[in-house]
Structure 1
Amino acid sequence: MGPLSTKLFSFGQFLCRVFFRIFYRVELIGKENIPVDDGVLLCSNHIHNLDPPLVGCFLKRKTRFMAKAELFEAPILKTLLPKLGTFPIRRGMSDRQALRTGLKLLSDSELIGVFPEGTRSKTGTLGKGLTGVGFFALRSKAAVVPCAVIGTYKPFSKLKLVYGQPIDMTTLRNEKASAEQATEQIMASIQQLLDTHKTH
């Protein structure tokens, strides 16, 4: 991102932090688990349209999100999203150009945010992950960090945002495991965060 885009992103982060602190009383857990300089694949559950700004706004690093290609067809978003570092992917996470872009960003030590389910959960429970996220995890050397958004997004209620410890992908990478196997491990780690930190 250029200087203008960087300033726009930082300003957007600030506004989002204020918004979420006021309206959703966000409890932030595990921020120290995000590596400072290395490539990071940040994998979160997806329960609301506000998940992307929530997941990214509390981090000092810039988060490059993948977003469904349809959003880039909207008049305002097609200009705004690229300036915020977002890049498009077609449904199903099998878009080769998006996969190449993601791998390049990870090799350049960028932080990429993904929602492995590919769409929002209507029930709030974690769905099946798409294999594209496993492809990124296996084909890059990036740290793979699970993330959990816990709550209902009811105004003035409490939301938990949990960043887990990086997942050890060494064995799967050495054994040349399938993308599906890697995705299953990532989803299991997200589920563990949800189970451990769920609001009673």
Structure 2
Amino acid sequence: MSFYTFARSAVKGILSPVYRFEVVGAENVPSEGGVIVCSNHIDNLDPPAVGITCPRPVSFMAKEELFKLPLLKSILPKLEAFPVRRGMSDREALRKGLGILKEGKVLGLFPEGTRSKDGKLGKGLAGVGFFALRSEGAVVPCAVIGPYRKFKKVQVVYGEPIDLTTYKQERASAEVVTDVIMSKIAELIDKHQ
């Protein structure tokens, strides 16, 4: 058993009795090939929520500050998470993310770059559009619908992969593609809230 599988089971065992996770649309995550799961970000528990509900292992891009915390700095790399410097172009993180997709794995992104203070969907950063345009990965929008309250339902909704063929042909900007992805996440939130 891999460390990821062990950790996923352990986290599921800890969180599931406290929060009633309802997973919608998990079948929309392609069973093979590179996939970019793009989720809104309402709580610190979002990465584990997506990690335990996605049918495939997810490699998350996470803020580099987390990798400096004593407990997390040894665990996060074992979970295939990797650091990104926020607020600047981080070429190493971009290379790492593209590498994950090229290997046919799942890359987990929170396009807003930080948690929403009011629970509302914020503006997405261009990085997610960059990954969508520069890779062959399927882009799956995801909505975490809370709030996280003990013994209450938390929905994790996976939408259908977004067809970005036209945008790639027209050489659309990363910002435009990011806006398209964010609009799909917003649709999921509106539909399931």
| TM superposition score category, shorter chain reference | over 0.9
Counterpart selection for 1:61 from 56, 80, 102: 56
Matched, 1:109 2:104: yes
Counterpart selection for 2:86 from 72, 85, 91: 91
Q: Is the 8 A contact 2:8 2:52 kept in 1?
A: yes
1:196 counterpart SS class = helix
Partners of 1:20 and 1:152 in 2: CA distance? 14
Q: Is the 8 A contact 1:42 1:114 kept in 2?
A: yes
2:129 is aligned to 134
User: Which is further off, 14-23 or 58-67?
Assistant: 14-23
Provide TM-score, normalisation by structure 2. Answer: 0.97
Partners of 2:14 and 2:156 in 1: CA distance? 15
Q: Which runs of 5+ in 1 are unaligned?
A: 1-5
Matched, 1:170 2:146: no
Cα shift at 1:93: 6.2
Counterpart selection for 1:7 from 2, 18, 23: 2
Q: Is the 8 A contact 1:93 1:131 kept in 2?
A: no
Report Cα offsets for 1:6-45 as digits up to 9, x if no partner. Answer: 6211011112223332111111100000011110000000
1:80 is aligned to 75
2:114 counterpart SS class = coil
Calculate percent identity across the aligned residue pairs.
56
2:18 counterpart SS class = helix
Moved over 3 A (4+): none
Matched, 1:45 2:13: no
Provide TM-score, normalisation by structure 1. Answer: 0.93
Report Cα offsets for 1:46-72 as digits up to 9, x if no partner. Answer: 000010010011233210000001111
Partners of 1:98 and 1:9 in 2: CA distance? 21
Partners of 2:87 and 2:106 in 1: CA distance? 21
Q: Which runs of 5+ in 2 are unaligned?
A: none
Counterpart selection for 2:138 from 143, 146, 158: 143
